[in-house]
Structure 1
Amino acid sequence: MKNHVAVGVDGSAESRAAARWAAQEAVLRGVPLRLVHAVDWPLDPVLPGLGRQDVDRWADRALAETAQELRQRHPQLDVTARCPTAQPAAALAAEAADAGLLVLGSRGLGGLVGFVVGSVAMSTVVATDAPVVLVRSAGTHADDTADAADGEADAVGGPGSGSAAAGIAVGVDVHEACDRVLAFAFEEAARRGCPLQAVHGWKLPPAYAYAPFADPDVEREIGRSASNLLDDMLAPWRQRFPEVSVTCTVFRGSAGELLVRASRSAALVVVGRHRRRSPLGARLGPVAHAVLHHAAAPVAVIAHD
């Protein structure tokens, strides 16, 4: 069952939005969906007099209600559920290792654009090499996108068989190998039949800060070089996915800022993070961190070397 989609479920509005998004993704991929609720007993905060059986019954009900809703939305979807006893981040990371994709819910910042990324979600993202998608809570862009995708799939006869208005934005570092990031982004764009925007932000060399004045020719040359590197990096993927319409955005500045802006009209934002660990443990890079906390659309985090 390596290719199934797994989603964390805890009965909250955030997890319901994640489950709906995950169900649509599983339908697009033609794979089963697994609902996961981790019970961290006896470390979970509980009300006085609430015993293990009460916690188990609540977890079972949350899983059953979510499964019932998703089966009604997608009668053809194979939905299963698991309720492991473990710390949530560890349990979800273990599930991710056995899945093609893990989906987690994240609370939106009210009327503001962005996420509140909880400790469980953040710990899970950095603890697994599997792709992880964070989805905002119900009533936000992510839930609206999932519902729109459901409606479009019904209208055209199946998921992914029509063109999607919203595309996918992917952050690309032209100075590092990021095949896993590009593979995920192109596969998702092909699966959804939507355009792909590749974004790269470049900076002037540190020594340039000491120059007495800016040289426009130098800046233009750096920009052209970055554009050429991005075109070269995308060339084999364009050949492999000729059906995907690709646009490139190369600019001076932070890729995270442009990806956040692009997320307002995107169906999905894809960013990479390094597998390597620092002395302080695994962490997100600055682009992934900015996008995770401020994007309006679901965000896929892809681990790469």
Structure 2
Amino acid sequence: MSYPVPDPCFKKTCREREICVEKDNKGVCTPESKASCQAVGDPHYETFDGSLFSFQGTCSYVMVKTSGKDKTLTPFSIINKNQLASGARGSYMKSVIIKLPAHEIVITHGERNRVTAIKGLWSVWNLTNHISSFSALQIDNKTSPLPVNLDSGNITITKSGFTGTLKTDFGLEVTFDWGEFFKVTVPSSYYKNLVGMCGTYSNNRSDDFVTPAGVPVSDIVEWAASWSVPDNDRTCWHFPACTEQEKQRYRGPEYCGVLVDKTGPFANCNETVMLAQFPTDCVFYACLTHGSRETYCKALNSYVNSCMLAKTEVSAQWKQITKCRK
């Protein structure tokens, strides 16, 4: 007489976004999917839940870290240091520190094909206290060409073409090009257990923009500033120096306000292409360049291009109305 083999997953309790699979006659919880957050260019972000925003502050910020709610998950944090680009480009990611339980991995803009690995547990404050002066972190001569293999393969960093990839045994994956692109991918085991500028990974965009205290904030600059961490850069800022009077002027109809004017040249496009960060970016660059008409017109042209991609017409008179005739 044969008896049915008991299901090893019958009494196995997994996390919300995990499934139980049989392995060696045992029930093993595995993630059912993955999610990614990325920063591109100067920098434009997309959170784990798909929220899009731009932020060009030049300080150090928590891009993503574990919230600590689930103590059984492997903790990690990723901190990026931004720097003002030359000209009127805004900022870019100067460096990124990936903090793992036994290592800190430093990726620096322009230093292609190599990373710096620091063994040992550093506090977030000490780490970011030196973030703007990497000579302090490189004294140990830990800078290594790729590929890198740490902890018997539990952490690997490889290169393919222009792209580097860091992988861990707990599912964290980071893809980067030492320049304009940085992407963080996590297994769904981390669902609802992440915080930072990559959002909360809760499948709910409405709670992406909360402070470390869990308070929702609608202003991107104020929200991003709440995720800043100390560094040695005393000249860094979350928004370029601009008086309230100047901001009001740049938000007005003679400048960036034309983007949201319901009777203006872009009104037709507003119904198709979400304005999102365009007005904020416009004011940012106006402050950064002290009201440069050239930069202002480039910001408007960027929105026009988005309208064209969405196959939505903009008034043919927009250049005349905004005095961007060149």
TM-score (norm 1): 0.26
TM-score (norm 2): 0.25
Q: Which structure has the bigger radius of gyration?
A: 2
Q: With CA pairs under 8 Å and 6+ residues apart, which has the higher RCO, 1 or 2? A: 1
> Which structure has greater helix proportion?
1
> Which structure has greater strand proportion?
2
